[in-house]
């Protein structure tokens, strides 16, 4: 199962990048839409990881894809290899921060805590919450807040984070999952709002998972 998990991990990521690049070239998605398509799509890797990576060696298999993509994404950032992922010339390392977040949360949730869904909460909130916040904010954001973000984008962030949290926590059988999901969504939305673009790929998943840990376990 662990080997299959590795194989499917790379297939998933490169298929998502390939589809995004195709849609971008066909002008079906704009530059930001292509980036967020990848952003949302790749976050689903955590679901795959929870399904396939198991047993005593789960951590050592699950950690391989994030390490690979830290290096590959940095190379792409420097050389503009995957154009659908990059903000050309903006100096934005967000695509590198994403797999760094994956790396940290894999170590903590697969290794230290042995509770993979805790890391999944942060990553899926980042993928869907931050992803839809950017798309909705760019298209409908008329009431500006901080760092070019908008009320409309923050509302999208909250709704997506709330839905993701409710689904994941209910599947895991967490008690009081609706109020906990509401609190996590509020915290995640505030984190995303007050973090400059790019750095939210670190702050949102790490702090959302940490907030859940303190709320539920402590």
- According to the model, what pLDDT value does residue 147 have? 78
- pLDDT tens for 53-93 read 999 999 999 999 999 999 888 887 777 776 666 665 455 67
Parse the chain into domains and list their residue ranges: 2-217
pLDDT above 90 for 49: yes
pLDDT above 90 for 187: yes
Query: When comparing pLDDT for 201 and 78, which is higher?
Result: 201
Q: With helix as H, strand as E and coil as C, how does 142-153 read? A: CCECCCCCEHHH
Residue pair 212/180 in contact by the 8 Å Cβ criterion? yes
Give the residue carrying structure tokens 């009320």: 151
- CA torsion angle for 152, 181, 178, 128 (degrees, to 10)? 60
How does DSSP assign 72-110, residue by residue?
HHHHHHHH--STTT--TTS---HHHHHHHHHHHHHIIII
**SS3 helix, strand, coil % of the chain, rounded to 5?**
75, 0, 20
- According to the model, what pLDDT value does residue 157 have? 96
């Amino acid at each position: 199962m662990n080997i299959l998990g590795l194989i499917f991990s790379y297939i998933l990521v490169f298929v998502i990048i390939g589809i995004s690049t195709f849609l971008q070239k066909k002008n079906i998605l704009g530059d930001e839409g292509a980036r967020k398509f990848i952003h949302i799509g790749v976050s689903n890797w955590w679901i795959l990881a929870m399904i396939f990576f198991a047993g005593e060696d789960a951590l050592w298999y699950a950690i391989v894809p994030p390490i690979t993509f830290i290096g590959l994404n940095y190379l792409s950032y420097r050389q503009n290899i995957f154009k659908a992922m990059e903000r050309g010339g903006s100096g934005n390392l967000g695509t590198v921060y994403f797999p760094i977040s994956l790396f940290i949360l894999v170590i903590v949730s697969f290794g230290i805590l042995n509770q993979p869904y805790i890391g999944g909460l942060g990553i899926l909130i980042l993928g869907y919450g931050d992803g839809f916040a950017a798309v909705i904010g760019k298209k409908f954001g008329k009431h500006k807040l901080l760092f070019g973000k908008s009320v409309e984008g923050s509302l999208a962030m909250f709704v997506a984070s709330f839905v993701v949290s409710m689904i994941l926590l209910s599947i895991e059988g967490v008690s009081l999952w609706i109020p906990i999901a509401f609190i996590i969504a509020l915290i995640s939305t505030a984190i995303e709002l007050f973090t400059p673009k790019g750095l939210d790929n670190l702050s949102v998943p790490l702090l959302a998972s940490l907030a859940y840990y303190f709320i539920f376990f402590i």
